[in-house]
Chains A and B, each alone.
Chain A
Amino acid sequence: AQTVTQSQPEMSVQEAETVTLSCTYDTSESDYYLFWYKQPPSRQMILVIRQEAYKQQNATENRFSVNFQKAAKSFSLKISDSQLGDAAMYFCAYREIGANSKLTFGKGITLSVRP
């Protein structure tokens, strides 16, 4: 079964600085999708960024970018110019190819932003 591991339960970053959140996953598949979701105190799950495993180029969405290392099964999220609104829980998630495949989530990491 696929597993997603987020080994750091908490991280803290100074406002305007850069922080990297780590994620590793285990799969025997060669093609799949990876996601980062943000859960602020409102509890809403918000998609931050997605990466298709067949694409070598790392995905970028404004201040958010990923470092996708397929051979190492690593998928880290970099947040640049951190803002107070970035404080939230962040979940890494994996999905197999297939219309009915589910998202498998890591345990999440709580990010705090210091003003």
Chain B
Amino acid sequence: DSGVTQTPKHLITATGQRVTLRCSPRSGDLSVYWYQQSLDQGLQFLIQYYNGEERAKGNILERFSAQQFPDLHSELNLSSLELGDSALYFCASKGRTTAGELFFGEGSRLTVL
């Protein structure tokens, strides 16, 4: 158990819909990272938050947005969903060692039909 909690574990929805994925980082970790894992693109970095502020942005579509709340949990909002958005979405929090390894949640499997 990494200590990072993600909900829901599985989600099936239709094209054009909007979903929200939720993440709680490990106790005491201030940074949250979101990654998308698809078969053809591998693990792609989406966005990072630190203590409520956006710190880095990767290959995140304009239809996607995220935020981190004062209690440090984070939400990733995906809207106007397309078939190609079907993927495994991971949240991770950054450890406090010098190397700053990421600890991942179990992921949210999104299927868009």
Contact = CB atoms under 8 A, between A and B. Distances in A.
A33 B99 contact: yes
Interface stretch (B20-28, B40-48, B72-80): B40-48
A101 B2 CA distance: 20
A33 B100 contact: yes
Interface in A61-115: 91, 95, 99-108
B45 A100 contact: no
B45 A103 contact: yes
Given A102-B58, A105-B42, A50 B99 contact: yes
Interface string B69-113: 000000000000000000010101000001111111011010000
A88 to B, nearest CB: 14
A99 B100 contact: yes
B55 interface: yes
B56 interface: yes
A35 interface: yes
Nearest to A49: B101
B90 A45 contact: yes
A103 B54 CA distance: 16
B101 A50 contact: yes
Contacts of A52: 98-99
A99 B104 contact: no
A46 B105 CA distance: 9
A104 B45 contact: yes
Given A99-B50, A102-B56, A43 B107 contact: yes
A104 B48 CA distance: 13
7 contacts: A33-B100, A33-B101, A47-B103, A99-B31, A100-B55, A101-B100, A105-B43
